[in-house]
Amino acid sequence: MAFLSGLSAFPITPSDRDGRIDTKALRKLVTRLCAAKVDSIGLLGSTGTYIYLTREERRRALAEALDEAGGQTPIVVGVGALRTDEAVRLAQDAKALGAAAGLLAAVSYTPLTDDEVFEHFSVVAREGGLPIVIYDNPGTTHFHFTPTLVGRLAKVPGIVAIKNPTDKSDAIDSHLAGQRSIVPEGFSIGCSGDWNATEAMIAGADTWYSVLGGILPEVCIKIVRSSQAGDAAEARRLDAALTPIWDLFKQFSSLRVVYVLAELLDICRAEPPRPVLPLSAVAKRQIVEALERLPAGTAR
């Protein structure tokens, strides 16, 4: 699927303290991403704090984003939930509204077995009726998709892609090659973990599922296009210029940093959902300084 390649940009979901979506701010973010010509928008991912929102607010966010995108940019939307039946309903909602695909993580309180995750994903893909992207996010879910499980899921009708973590930078090449060998042709292999994503794209990943792309899409698009064109040197040059941002992501988490970036860039004023607290004034000053160090034209 063509939309599951290139840059998938993941914006925040601005909302008030009661979890009600700020639709004006969300539309502004979507307009910005469409104008930058990202390949897809990753709505209601971890950066979009999907797990903190009700089904009603998730539907409202998706409806507003789809309306603003106007069919110009496909939207991949988070459909993860603790219960399988809830995830099915969220996938059905997303399909009915017009989402291109659903992003599904192995969200759980009780640790899950491989067979439980296989059944969960299979049921959501079958009953939800929406193409599903596997979201391997062990830093949050504490569940890691083994090669065996990925190979099984990739054969399930309706499961079309995977979003991989890239925390082990020295294993990116071997991980991608190994995954290519166990999934069907046309199955999209993507990466997250922004500070290692350039190397993953150079190594042949199909998609960069990007947090920074949701707030600074232009530079991320340039990295992706350079990687796709085989210009690894240019991709690495652009990536190196973002080192101040990557350092902040590692220090404070990408989620907290992008909320500050949205304010500094005069896109919107919002706070992450409680109990996640906004960053301190000292931390915000570090982000201001990092923005000032970026090359001209990057922070817009």
pLDDT of residue 131: 98
| 24, 37, 52, 163: the active-site residue | 163
Residues 6 or more apart in contact with residue 54 via CB below 8 angstroms: 19
Q: Is 52 designated active site? A: no
> Is residue 47 part of an annotated ligand binding site?
yes
pLDDT-above-70 percentage for the chain: 99
Q: Give the position of tokens 């939207």.
A: 75
Q: Name the average pLDDT for the chain.
A: 96
| 50, 95, 135, 259: the active-site residue | 135
- Of 36, 37, 12, the closest CA to residue 25 belongs to 12
Residues 6 or more apart in contact with residue 104 via CB below 8 angstroms: 78, 79, 80, 87, 91, 121, 124, 132, 133, 134, 135
Which residue type occupies 121?
F
- State mean pLDDT over 182-204: 97
Q: Are strands 75-78 and 101-105 parallel, antiparallel or unpaired?
A: parallel
pLDDT, tens digit, 9 for 90 and up, residues 135-155: 999 999 999 999 999 999 999
Which residue type occupies 143?
F
pLDDT grade for 296, boundaries at 50, 70 and 90 = confident
| Domain edges within the chain | 2-228
pLDDT > 80? residue 2: no
pLDDT, tens digit, 9 for 90 and up, residues 34-81: 999 999 999 999 999 999 999 999 999 999 999 999 999 999 999 999
- State mean pLDDT over 278-291: 97
Q: Is 222 designated active site? A: no
Residues 57, 61, 62, CA angle at the centre, nearest 5°? 120
pLDDT > 90? residue 123: yes
Please give the Cα distance from 263 to 128 (Å, whole number): 36
pLDDT > 60? residue 1: no
Which of the four CATH numbers 3.20.20.70, 3.30.565.10, 3.40.718.10, 3.10.129.10 does domain 2-228 have?
A: 3.20.20.70
Residues 33, 193, 267, CA angle at the centre, nearest 5°? 30
pLDDT, tens digit, 9 for 90 and up, residues 5-25: 999 999 999 999 999 999 999
pLDDT grade for 298, boundaries at 50, 70 and 90 = confident
Q: Could you tell me if 196 and 208 are in contact, meaning their C-beta atoms sit under 8 angstroms apart?
A: no
pLDDT of residue 3: 76
Q: Could you tell me if 83 and 51 are in contact, meaning their C-beta atoms sit under 8 angstroms apart?
A: no
